[in-house]
Amino acid sequence: MTEKTRFMLALIAPAAVAILLFQIVPILTGANASFRDWTLYDPKRTWVGTANYVHVLRDPEFLGIVLPNTFGFMAASVACALVLGLAIALMLNRRFPGRWLVQTLVLLPLMVAPVIAAIMIRWMFNDQFGVVNAALEGLGFAPITWLTQRWTAFLVILLTDVWLWTPWFALILLAGLQSLPPEPFEAAQIDAAGAWRTFRYITLPMLRPVMVVCVVIRAIDAFRTFDIVWTISGGGPARATEVFSIYAYVESFQFLNLGRGSAAAVIGAIIIVVFALLLYRLLNRLVEVSR
Amino acid sequence: MSAVTSVELKADARSEGFFSALAPGARAALFALAATAVCLLFTFPVFWLVLTSLRPASGVFYVHRGTEFTIDNFHEVLSQEIVLKALFNSFVISTAATVLSLGVTATSGYMLSRFKGPIPNTWFSLIYIFRCVPYVAWVLPLYFVTQQMHIFDTYWGLLFPHVAVHICFFSWIMKGFFDGIDPSMEYAAMIDGCSRWGAFWRVAMPTAVPGLTALAILCWLYTWNEFLFALILTSHETPILTVVMAQFVHELGMEWNLMSATAVIALVPALIVTLFGQRYVIRGLRI
């Protein structure tokens, strides 16, 4: 081993130990638990093979509600936050009085804990006393019991997530916009291209690498959303808004079947890691291009 | 073309909005309207939370009507032992996790930035994969692992998982910071007889201070705001603020004034960072 290799290994050694003990060991423990009857009534934790996986993969709750919810949430949240974030980035890329103030306020949700955001939004959408229903009544509409119906509850959760993450898209896309070379814009202006065409044929294609990276990272993170769903609806009404993380948690700690919860967690992890690996090459190439 | 004019042209070419067909006055008005809407959208929930926290218990259900304000909610919340304990614990955990993570990710990011070859590539892929693994997949079993290590419901049992996750999240960012620093100074130091460690510690680290500051702020807030780890890995001994708040929602579901007061207290670091640490946060938001 050369001196250089030893230096490299020494640099990552503490990080590697932390990852080994607190990620790899638990993941293996979880994988082990997923093949066992890990419940309160079975102190021996009998090996049951793939029974937990079969159960989860046949569970209509998991297939019919949890998976569609998780992927629907992921797609809707990323799409809304991307579009809104891009609009705000384009706005902040112009010079106008008060720009600094707008940027500061836009940054705020990024710093707020998801749990706090969830509490705020839950309160605003409270059936009887929430400000949203008060406003609806003021406008002459009937109040809506937001959190007792599947789709409205889902909408509230989605709204919270978009509120939390739009600023992230906006600030990263703004940085992307500011680093674009000026020449194509000059050429477009000389050719008298309109604002829309400039945006559609120059800004958007040049910004694409940054957008793809944002979308990939955010999609992977949206897949594991837990806090806001847990605080806003707790997966309810009647488990109708459960996403994958909530399902694994509820199976493990409310139904106290850690074997089944672990199996669900492993399935989710496999889905997202395969997804992430497929995107890895694309990501790598785009990051290279954008630098 | 000189650099100055090119910059102006660039700003000009892009300062046309979608509404170039409108009269300039109408365009400006529309733009101002959009900017105001954005500001309102992002601040209203926080404003509403603060307002609710200032309402007496009797007026909390009609926040939009009353004019009575009080700070009793804050007194009451801060006289609850669990809230005080949770505040203290959250603060200790966030600070300790920041110090530990920064040390560990700085070396890991430096390694990723300065070296090429199979070892850095493997390390990078490993970090990428663990960054993608959903938290539940390893925090659920961590419940048992920490119990076996006898660190469940203690500071250590929460600290180390945080550090592990910070490595995966922040090594990339740290690599980016070191990529932006010219390594020739380090080479010069090594030619003058500095060891590799010396070059890292005495030359690279001092130059990376702005990046480290940005990372420290993000790291601290991230830990302060974290919920799932705290929910699973702590219990009565080590209450954590986010968990205590979420329990309020489910347990004393009706006492919105107290809950809002707790949330506002928990929000203070976020507000401070937004106002004073903006520059650093934006610097840390690279991908």
Chunk chain B into consecutive blocks of 10 residues (it has 287) and report each block's average pLDDT, rounded to whole numbers: 41 48 76 88 90 80 71 85 90 93 91 90 88 86 86 87 90 86 87 87 88 88 90 86 81 75 90 84 73
B-chain residues near A207 (CB < 8 A): none
Whether B245 and A115 lie within 8 Å, measured CB to CB = yes
Closest chain A residue to the Cα of B200, Cα to Cα: A11
Tens of pLDDT, residue by residue over B242-283, are: 888 888 776 666 678 888 888 899 999 888 888 888 888 887
Q: Determine contact, residues A202/A164, Cβ cutoff 8 Å.
A: no
Query: pLDDT at residue A286 above 90?
Result: no
Q: Which domains does chain A show, CATH number per domain?
A: 71-290 (1.10.3720.10)
B-chain residues near A248 (CB < 8 A): 136-137, 140
Note the pLDDT of residue A198.
86
Q: How far is A60 from chain B (nearest CA, A)?
A: 21
Interface TM-score (ipTM) > 0.90: no
Note the pLDDT of residue B28.
83
Q: Determine contact, residues A180/A207, Cβ cutoff 8 Å.
A: yes
Whether A172 and B43 lie within 8 Å, measured CB to CB = no
Whole-angstrom CA distances from B25 to A97, B28, B33, B207 are 15, 5, 12, 48
DSSP A125: T
Of B138, B242, B275, the CB nearest to A27: B138
Angstrom distance (rounded) from CA A104 to CA A20: 39
Bridge partners (DSSP) of residue A47 are: A36
Q: Is B35 on the interface with A (CB under 8 A)?
A: yes
B-chain residues near A23 (CB < 8 A): 130, 133, 138, 164-165, 168
Tens of pLDDT, residue by residue over A92-126, are: 988 888 888 888 888 888 888 998 899 889 888 98
Output phi, psi for B203, to 5 deg.
-110, -55
Output phi, psi for A220, to 5 deg.
-65, -40
Note the pLDDT of residue B2.
39
Q: Which residues in chain A (147-166) have CB-CB distances under 8 A to chain B?
A: 163, 166
CA nearest neighbour of A156 among A70, A215, A231: A231
Tens of pLDDT, residue by residue over A32-89, are: 888 888 776 767 777 888 888 998 888 888 898 899 999 999 999 999 999 999 999 9
CA nearest neighbour of A42 among A265, A248, A263, A258: A258
Instruction: Dump the DSSP string for chain B.
Output: --HHHHHHHHHHHHH--S-TTS-HHHHHHHHHHHHHHHHHHHHHHHHHHHHHHTS-GGGGGGTTT-----SHHHHHHHTSHHHHHHHHHHHHHHHHHHHHHHHHHHHHHHHHHH--SHHHHHHHHHHHHHHHS-HHHHHHHHHHHHHHTT-TTSHHHHHHHHHHHHHHHHHHHHHHHHHTS-THHHHHHHHTT--HHHIIIIIIHHHTHHHHHHHHHHHHHHHHH--HHHHHH--SSS--HHHHHHHHHHHSTT-HHHHHHHHHHHHHHHHHHHHHSHHHHHHH---
A209 prior amide bond cis, ω within 30: no
- In chain A, % of residues over pLDDT 90: 24
Whole-angstrom CA distances from A73 to A68, A93, A148, B107 are 8, 29, 18, 36
Average pLDDT value over all residues in chain A: 87
Whether A272 and B115 lie within 8 Å, measured CB to CB = no
Q: Is A12 on the interface with B (CB under 8 A)?
A: yes
Tokens 């700070």 belong to residue: B71
Q: Determine contact, residues B145/A25, Cβ cutoff 8 Å.
A: yes
Note the pLDDT of residue A188.
86
Q: Determine contact, residues B215/B174, Cβ cutoff 8 Å.
A: yes
Angstrom distance (rounded) from CA B102 to CA B282: 18
Q: How far apart are the first and last CA of chain A?
A: 33
Q: Which two tokens stand for residue B39?
A: 């500001």
Tens of pLDDT, residue by residue over A211-258, are: 888 888 899 889 989 989 988 888 778 888 889 899 999 988 888 888
Whether B140 and A261 lie within 8 Å, measured CB to CB = yes
Output phi, psi for A36, to 5 deg.
-125, 160
pLDDT band at A149 (very low <50, low <70, confident <90, very high): confident
Residue B176 Cα to chain centre, angstroms: 18
Domain B77-284 in CATH 1.10.3720.10: yes
Whole-angstrom CA distances from B211 to A172, A187, B204 are 17, 36, 11
Q: Is A100 on the interface with B (CB under 8 A)?
A: no
Q: How far is A172 from chain B (nearest CA, A)?
A: 7
Domain coordinates of chain B in residue numbers? Answer: 1-42, 77-284
**Mean pLDDT across the stretch A172-186?**
88
Whether B160 and A18 lie within 8 Å, measured CB to CB = yes
